[in-house]
Amino acid sequence: MSVSALGPARAAEVFRRTGVTPCLATVLVGADPASVTYVKMKRNRCAKAGIRFRHVELPAETTTGELVAAITAITALSVDPGVHGILLQHPVGPHIDERAAFEAIAPAKDVDGVTMASFAAMGFGLPGFVSCTPGGIMRLLDAYDVGLSGKRAVVVGRSAILGKPAGLLLLGRDATVTYCHSRTTDLSSVVREADVLVAAVGRPNFIKGQDIKPGAVVIDAGYNAGTTGDVDFASAAERASLITPVPGGVGPMTIAVLLAQTVEAAERLLDV
- For residues 246 and 202, the answer to whether their CB atoms sit within 8 Å is no
DSSP string of 34-62, one letter each residue: HHHHHHHHHHHHHHHHT-EEEEEEE-TT-
Q: Which helix (H) or strand (E) segment is 2 a member of?
A: none
SS3 210: helix
Q: Which helix (H) or strand (E) segment is 28 a member of?
A: strand 23-29
Q: Which among 208, 205, 245 has a CA at the least distance from the CA of 225?
A: 205
Annotated catalytic, 210? no
Direct distance between the N- and C-terminal alpha carbons of the chain, in angstroms, rounded to an integer: 25
CB burial string 50-74: b at 16+ within 10 A, e below: bbbbbebebeeebebeebbebbeeb
Annotated catalytic, 112? yes
Separation in Å, CA 66 to CA 100, 171, 198? 11, 38, 36
Number of Cβ atoms within 10 Å of the Cβ of 185: 7
Active-site option among 42, 109, 164, 213: 42
Active-site option among 32, 40, 80, 89: 89
- For residues 139 and 256, the answer to whether their CB atoms sit within 8 Å is yes
Distance between CA atoms of residues 21 and 19, nearest Å:
7
Active-site option among 109, 110, 112, 220: 112
Point out the residues that are catalytic: 42, 89, 112
